[in-house]
Amino acid sequence: MTAYLYSPVFLEHEEEGHPESPERLEAIMRVLRETGVLARLTALEPIPATDAQLEAVHTKEHIKRVKDTVARGGGNLDPDTYTNSRSLDAALLAAGAVVRGVDAVMKGEVDNAFALVRPPGHHATHNRAMGFCLFNNVAVGAAHALNSHNLERVLIVDYDVHHGNGTQDIFYRSPIVLYFSTHQYPYYPGTGNWTDIGEGAGQGYTVNVPLSAYVGDEGYRRIFDDLLYPLGERYHPELILVSVGYDAHWRDPLAMENLSLAGYTTLARTLIELAREQCAGRIVFVLEGGYDIPVCANGVANTFRALLGDTEIPDPIGPSKRAEPDVGDYVEQLRGAHRLV
């Protein structure tokens, strides 16, 4: 069984004209219904994250700052990151949805899950909201998996087009979370150099793959096949969490990568196969960015089809016509840097 986690409360966090809008989730749910995918899924009700769950990855001061801002009716926590009077409820449910998904997968209630949440989370650091993100949803889920299910190795894969600086920040000194990120670079938030590999006990457990513009299906496939997959085999995760943003698609208005929906499907299938081989299929996807509405909606539907095991998955938008750079030498360089050769 494949589960989805969603709440209409997520739609109440909004600011007119902002690209991270309720329309994203409205379109996702509409496409899931119209294509018949939703009827094949198991619904899990999100439960708000507790203060203890948030404090496993965030400072009390950060949590209080978010709560106090919302209690005043809302306001900006940074130039890109807004709140309104309903933002705290949405953010607690977003983090709690990942916790609920982790619990369901770890207990065998479902085979895998996708948390359809907003606000997104991967830019939120331990002490700061930024980049549209209030709390770091995937980090809260990872900490919960480690603390409540006695896990020792969680792999977080982040293929949003922006670097998940918050997730890196939270686990940078930890060997019990392997963080792997592909992202356009240099680009917002300006972090994620390939030389950033972790510190102290966490050295070697952060793997950044900064990319030039216009890397597309073949380049991403090589990165996942030749770098991520062997890293996953070596790490042998007990659970895989995925921060997925559909803003690396060639049509996204906020970035300049070159993936197609077919390319996104290939990446999802690679992660699902890695989870099957390494951790009995235990994988939870978490929605991050994606700002071309039809791309995001169809991308989510196709990820669900991959989780369900469909062999034929459509790409209604089609491929980019732009040539992509060859990343072969770069992948070999990164393989050497991470001792895979």
pLDDT for the residue 198: 98
In whole angstroms, what is the distance from residue 151 CA to residue 112 CA? 17
Give pLDDT tens digits for 207-245.
999 999 999 999 999 999 999 999 999 999 999 999 999
Give the model's confidence band at 182: pLDDT under 50 very low, under 70 low, under 90 confident, else very high. Answer: very high
Homologous superfamily (CATH) of 2-337 is Histone deacetylase domain (3.40.800.20)
- Please return the burial class of 8, using the count of CB atoms within 10 Å of its CB with bins 0-12, 13-18 and 19+: exposed
Angle between helices 293-308 and 261-279 (to 10 degrees): 30
Query: Which residue among the candidates 123, 162, 163, 249 is catalytic per the annotation?
Result: 123
Query: Is the confidence at residue 251, as pLDDT, over 90?
Result: yes
123 catalytic residue (yes or no): yes
Mean pLDDT throughout 163-190? 98
Q: With b meaning 16 or more CB within 10 Å and e meaning fewer, what string describes 18-56?
A: ebbbbebbebbbebbeebebbeebeebebebbeeebbbb
Average pLDDT for the chain? 98
In angstroms, rounded to a whole number, what is the distance separating the alpha carbons of residues 260 and 306? 15
pLDDT digits (tens, 9 = 90+) for 89-112: 999 999 999 999 999 999 999 999
* pLDDT at position 310: 98
Residue 109: per-residue pLDDT = 98
CA torsion 253→259→262→267, rounded to 10°? -120
Nearest in space to 154 (alpha carbons), one of 54, 286, 267: 286
Cβ–Cβ < 8 Å for 165, 123: yes
**Average pLDDT estimate for 2-8:** 98
Is the pLDDT at 341 greater than 90, yes or no?
A: no
Task: Name the pTM for this structure.
Answer: 0.98
User: Which pLDDT does position 218 carry in this prediction?
Assistant: 98
Residue with tokens 């409540």: 148
| pLDDT at position 266 over 90 | yes
